[in-house]
């Protein structure tokens, strides 16, 4: 890992190497961008033995998924390191400084932040230890594995009744433990009752465990309600602290289930040059959505870098005009029949400066019309498009900026047309 004073600007530093970060990194390295992923190695689903619903990898342990992802990124030259980013600062000249807890770091042109979220669980003794096993939140992650046995849903928010009705799809034996929530409403009571879901009134004091498995919930009254698993609704708190100095916006989720970094559909945040993907920007995302959002962000970042690279190239070309070369092989046809673009992909003539004028003065006198030259990149364009020089009835060969070449090479390109 380079030390601070050895570092050079990386195209993109990805902060967080869960599936969102790694999928984004893979897109970027395959776009030939230099990428460093810094990952603290604790994906949110790490407490679970298996990750579900990831097509072609259903049931794979979470850390195996990220391990494969890291290898895929590295195979293209991406750098993935274990570490914790402690600060992100915007540099005065553009780009960002990324600093790790050990003092090392990089300067980056763009940031992709995929730090995930923290599941803030209700404060019930014994529950944290069972989290991701038989204290769960997500039916799509755990429902199949927990199908049929007695389930309890802990009510801590107005969404609890809906959660209980949802879990009824996986088990015929669901109870709603009212705990600290108000409700259910009359309408919800009718729905719960119609689906055979009983409401237990009382606050949960602890979860009961026997033989290494959750066996029930103990109420403050001392009553134990036998259950095989407990469904809870954590508050989803996006890990956004690193982004705060960069002035990203953080908003409450519209369902009131947590907070997340505000980003557009590509992950672009309010802070120029900073993208966010995965759970940090969408607390509801499962692993496939998280990975997908990383890919979308990678595409957007690459497009943004491409635009910047192009601007820089144009500025450099304008600061140092490419010498124009005359081409005797230019043939002229009828105006109006040429394609509306140049073969070199540039849509403006950029080198019509003094050097071009000098070249023009040496070129053959011809008539205005269509200029075609196989030796000048095969471009075929209206001669008026090559103004201002066509008025002099002479057309220089404008080539896109290229690395400097030897005189011998130059003459090989345009020699047939050179005087
Ligand atoms: C118990 C549990 C089980 C789940 N099971 C499933 C399932 O089966 N199927 C499903 O679709 N979804 C499941 N989910 C949801 C799933 O975990 C998320 O969708 C997914 O982890 C989001 O990916 P992410 O890349 O956004 O964040 P994460 O996977 O959380 O990755 C974030 C990474 O960033 C790192 N990080 C954080 N801060 C820093 C920092 N400052 N510097 C460096 N690195 C940092 C973290 O250590 C972590 O490695 C489950 C969630 C939980 C809680």
Strand partners, 80: 37
pTM score of the predicted model: 0.79
How much distance in Å is there from the Cα of 116 to the middle of ligand 1?
5
pLDDT of the residue at 180 = 87
Nearest CA to ligand 1 atom 34: 16
C-alpha separations of 65 from 11, 79, 258, 360 in Å: 25, 17, 26, 62
Tell me if 39 sits within 8 A of 82, measured CB to CB. yes
Pocket test for ligand 1, best of 129, 138, 243, 282 (most atoms within 8 A of CB): 138
Q: Residues near 8 by Cβ (< 8 Å), separated by ≥ 6?
A: 2, 106, 107
Nearest CA to ligand 1 atom 41: 85
pLDDT of the residue at 322 = 62
On the question of pLDDT at 338 being above 60, the answer is: no
Q: Taking the chain, what is the end-to-end CA distance rounded to the nearest angstrom?
A: 55
Percent of the chain at pLDDT > 70 equals 74
How much distance in Å is there from the Cα of 198 to the middle of ligand 1?
33
Atom of ligand 1 nearest to the CA of 136: 1
How much distance in Å is there from the Cα of 313 to the middle of ligand 1?
39
Look at phi and psi of residue 302 and say left if phi exceeds 0, alpha if psi is from -120 to 50, else beta: alpha
Nearest CA to ligand 1 atom 37: 115
> DSSP string covering 160-179, please?
HHHHHHHHTTT-S-EEEE-T
On the question of pLDDT at 269 being above 50, the answer is: yes
Integer Rg of the chain from CA: 31
Q: What is the pLDDT of residues 366-390, one digit of tens each?
A: 333 333 333 333 333 333 333 223 3
**Average pLDDT of the residues of the chain:** 81
Atom of ligand 1 nearest to the CA of 289: 19
Going by pLDDT thresholds of 50, 70 and 90, the confidence category of residue 8 is low
Interatomic CA distance for residues 36 and 34, integer angstroms: 7
How much distance in Å is there from the Cα of 18 to the middle of ligand 1?
6
Residues with CB under 6 A from ligand 1: 15-21, 38-45, 47-48, 51-53, 84-85, 114-116, 119, 132, 138, 141, 239, 242, 278-279, 285-287, 290
Pocket test for ligand 1, best of 287, 288, 297, 298 (most atoms within 8 A of CB): 287
Instruction: Give all domains of the chain, ordered by start, each with its CATH number.
Output: 4-118+236-312 (3.50.50.60), 122-233 (3.50.50.60), 325-417 (no CATH)
On the question of pLDDT at 364 being above 60, the answer is: no
pLDDT of the residue at 325 = 54
pLDDT of the residue at 23 = 98
Going by pLDDT thresholds of 50, 70 and 90, the confidence category of residue 246 is very high
* Phi, psi angle pair for 121, to nearest 5°: -85, 150
Tell me if 342 sits within 8 A of 379, measured CB to CB. yes
Lowest mean pLDDT segment, chosen from 2-11, 19-28, 160-169: 2-11
On the question of pLDDT at 407 being above 80, the answer is: no
On the question of pLDDT at 103 being above 60, the answer is: yes
Strand ranges inside 163-257, DSSP E:
174-177, 198-200, 204-210, 213-219, 224-226, 229-231, 235-238, 250-252
How much distance in Å is there from the Cα of 120 to the middle of ligand 1?
14
| Other CB atoms within 10 Å distance of the CB of residue 228 | 17
Specify the length of the chain in residues: 419
Q: What is the pLDDT of residues 34-59, one digit of tens each?
A: 999 999 999 999 999 999 999 999 99
């Amino acid at each position: 890992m380079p030390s601070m004073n050895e570092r050079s600007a990386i195209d993109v530093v990805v902060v967080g190497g869960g599936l969102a970060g790694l999928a984004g990194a893979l897109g970027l390295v395959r776009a030939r961008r230099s990428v460093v992923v810094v990952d603290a190695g604790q994906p949110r689903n790490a407490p679970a033995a298996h990750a579900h619903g990831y097509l072609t990898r259903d049931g794979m342990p979470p850390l195996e998924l990220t391990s494969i992802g890291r290898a895929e990124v590295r195979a293209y030259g991406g750098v993935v390191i274990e570490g914790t980013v402690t600060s992100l600062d915007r540099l005065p000249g553009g780009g960002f400084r990324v600093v790790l807890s050990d003092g090392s770091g990089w300067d980056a042109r763009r940031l992709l932040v995929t730090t995930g979220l923290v599941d803030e669980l209700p404060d019930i003794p014994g529950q944290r230890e069972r989290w991701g096993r038989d204290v769960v939140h997500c039916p799509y992650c755990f429902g199949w594995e927990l199908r049929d046995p007695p389930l309890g849903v802990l009510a801590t928010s107005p969404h609890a009744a809906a959660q209980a009705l949802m879990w009824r799809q996986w088990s015929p034996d669901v109870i709603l433990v009212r705990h600290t929530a108000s409700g259910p409403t009359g309408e919800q009571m009718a729905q719960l009752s119609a689906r055979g879901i009983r409401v237990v009134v009382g606050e949960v004091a602890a979860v009961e465990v026997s033989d290494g498995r959750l066996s029930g919930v103990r109420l403050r009254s001392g009553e134990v309600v036998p259950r095989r698993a407990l469904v809870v609704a954590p508050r989803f708190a996006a890990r956004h602290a690193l982004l705060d100095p960069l002035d990203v916006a953080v908003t409450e989720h519209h369902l009131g289930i947590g907070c997340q970094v505000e980003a557009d559909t590509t992950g672009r945040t309010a802070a120029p040059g900073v993208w966010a993907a995965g759970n940090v920007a969408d607390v509801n995302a499962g692993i496939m959505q998280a990975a997908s959002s990383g890919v979308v962000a990678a595409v957007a970042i690459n497009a943004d870098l491409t635009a910047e690279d192009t601007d820089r190239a144009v500025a450099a070309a304008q600061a140092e005009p490419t010498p124009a070369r005359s081409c005797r092989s230019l043939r002229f046809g009828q105006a109006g029949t040429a394609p509306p673009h140049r073969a070199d992909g540039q849509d403006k003539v950029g080198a019509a400066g003094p050097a071009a004028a000098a070249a023009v003065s040496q070129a053959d006198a011809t008539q205005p019309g269509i200029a075609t030259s196989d030796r000048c990149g095969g471009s075929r364009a209206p001669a008026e498009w090559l103004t201002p020089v066509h008025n002099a009835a002479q057309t220089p060969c404008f080539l896109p900026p290229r690395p400097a070449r030897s005189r011998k090479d130059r003459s090989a390109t345009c020699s047939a047309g050179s005087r």
